[in-house]
Amino acid sequence: MTIHVVGAGVAGLAAALALAGQGHAVVLHESTTQAGGRCRALPDGTDNGTHALIGANKAALGFLERIGARASWVEPEPGGLPVLDMRDGRAFRLALSPFGWRDPALRPAGLSTAALLALARLALPLPDRAVGAAMAAHPEFLRGFLDPLVVAALNTPVAEASAHRLGAVLRRLGGPGATRLFVARQGLGPDLVAPALAALERGGVALRFGVRLRRLVLASGRVAALDFGGDAITLRPGDAAVLATPPWESQRLLPHLPVPDGYAPIVNLHFDHASPGPVRFLGLLEALCQWVLVRPAGVSVTVSAGDDAAREDQATLAARAWAELRRAALAFGLAGDWPEAVPPCRVVKERRATPRHTPGPPPRPPLLPMANLALAGDWTDPVLPATIEAAVLSGEAAARGAAKTAAGAARP
């Protein structure tokens, strides 16, 4: 009995790892020449985009633990997030946890009992609406705290972001350490993708790269074969598959599948600028740059929900971003030189980075669209936003579903 996993993004990697851990024979098929999907290293080793996790992402951190990479994800700002407000040049530290707000120095601007009550209401199961409208009475708290949180977690501007999706995030922020922020010390290649592939190889998973699933051959409510073009794999009774492809590709393969209506871009700028200090992570308000990750090998800027940035030319983006991040680096006394001249910059525009999480009922694709086929992917979670956490959870759920169908078919 073999379980085929299609797509080597985080969801596919998590599914394959879980299945191998249960002793199944697993083959992982990936259309490109590398693993990681939307969370990958580019050929020159640069991350496609900065990926951050928080302590509440228990499934994602557990996955890192199982592949032996947990210690490679470091907490750059344990004393509170350094933030530069470009509106008035104020540089301050911000606690991400409400428990940290007991210290007035770490409180977000505009914090009040009424703002906290309005925030708490977002976590209640009330009719869905846009976060911006729900928090309109608290503009300073929205601007200084919620807007960056929403854009980072939902990759959707506050004016259109779903309060339900945000509520799912807020409900998970209460536990101890839930708001601790982690980033890959070196990059997604060495700190996620390579250790995941090594763990799969140790578990006996066969890895196939450069093979695109062209078509699912369906018969009697099950998948009869996986057609990779010229290379078709017949599924025997007891075999099963996990489809861990992005939504548009899953819908191409299964046209009746409900998928998200729209997608939002994330733009990342990677500056070739060595920095001698430790890994740092800064936030900016009222700026093009939302987050700045400073690693010894380079400096990366994230622009989530970056519809405008995705249209702008690369030289203009680089000049704007460097001027902003340089100001932040100098304001917080970051180690090293921060010259005015813009260093060489690589701009990565991921146009369909995640679904847009707007108000209204999310698509609810079935876990098992066919008797021997389970579905995975960040977009399949109807509650959490599309993130590494959702991808890992979906992969693990699909692994359970596929293993169950395989076990059921094997029974006499």
Kindly state whether residue 32 participates in binding ligand FAD, applying the rule CB under 6 A: yes
Q: Which stretch binds ligand FAD (CB under 6 A): 196-204, 325-333, 337-345, 349-357?
A: 349-357
Q: Nearest CA to 84 among 342, 334, 268?
A: 334
CB-CB neighbours of 335 under 10 Å: 13
In whole angstroms, give the CA distance from residue 165 to residue 382: 9
- Segment 223-262, which members bind ligand FAD (CB under 6 A)? 244-246, 249
Kindly state whether residue 350 participates in binding ligand FAD, applying the rule CB under 6 A: yes
**H or E element: which one contains 240?**
strand 240-243
Kindly state whether residue 355 participates in binding ligand FAD, applying the rule CB under 6 A: no
Q: Shortest approach of ligand FAD to residue 389 CB, angstroms?
A: 6
- Figure out which of the listed residues 4, 17, 37, 181 binds ligand FAD, where binding follows CB under 6 A: 37
Between β-strands 90-94 and 345-355, what pairing exists: parallel, antiparallel or unpaired? unpaired
Kindly state whether residue 354 participates in binding ligand FAD, applying the rule CB under 6 A: yes
Please enumerate, as own/partner, the contacts of 328-333 that have beta carbons within 8 Å and a separation of 24 or more: 328/82, 328/84, 328/91, 328/282, 328/284, 328/289, 328/292, 329/282, 329/292, 329/294, 331/84, 331/89, 331/91, 332/82, 332/84, 332/91, 332/280, 332/282
- Cα 202 to Cα 12, 181, 198, 199, distances in angstroms: 16, 30, 6, 5
Closer residue to ligand FAD (CB): 106 or 301: 301
Closer residue to ligand FAD (CB): 162 or 387: 387
- Figure out which of the listed residues 72, 162, 387, 405 binds ligand FAD, where binding follows CB under 6 A: 387
Kindly state whether residue 268 participates in binding ligand FAD, applying the rule CB under 6 A: yes
Number of amino acids touching ligand FAD (CB under 6 A): 36
Kindly state whether residue 18 participates in binding ligand FAD, applying the rule CB under 6 A: no
Kindly state whether residue 300 participates in binding ligand FAD, applying the rule CB under 6 A: no
Q: Shortest approach of ligand FAD to residue 351 CB, angstroms?
A: 9
Kindly state whether residue 147 participates in binding ligand FAD, applying the rule CB under 6 A: no
In whole angstroms, give the CA distance from residue 115 to residue 105: 18
Q: Which stretch binds ligand FAD (CB under 6 A): 24-32, 143-151, 310-318, 320-328?
A: 24-32
- Figure out which of the listed residues 5, 26, 41, 49 binds ligand FAD, where binding follows CB under 6 A: 49
Q: Which stretch binds ligand FAD (CB under 6 A): 30-38, 199-207, 230-238, 255-263?
A: 30-38
Kindly state whether residue 39 participates in binding ligand FAD, applying the rule CB under 6 A: yes
Q: Which two tokens stand for residue 278?
A: 């430790």
Closer residue to ligand FAD (CB): 62 or 110: 62
**Sheet of 373-375, strands arranged across:** 206-209, 25-30, 2-6, 240-243, 373-375
Q: Nearest CA to 63 among 7, 24, 9?
A: 9
Q: Nearest CA to 206 among 399, 24, 391, 9?
A: 24
- Segment 149-208, which members bind ligand FAD (CB under 6 A)? none
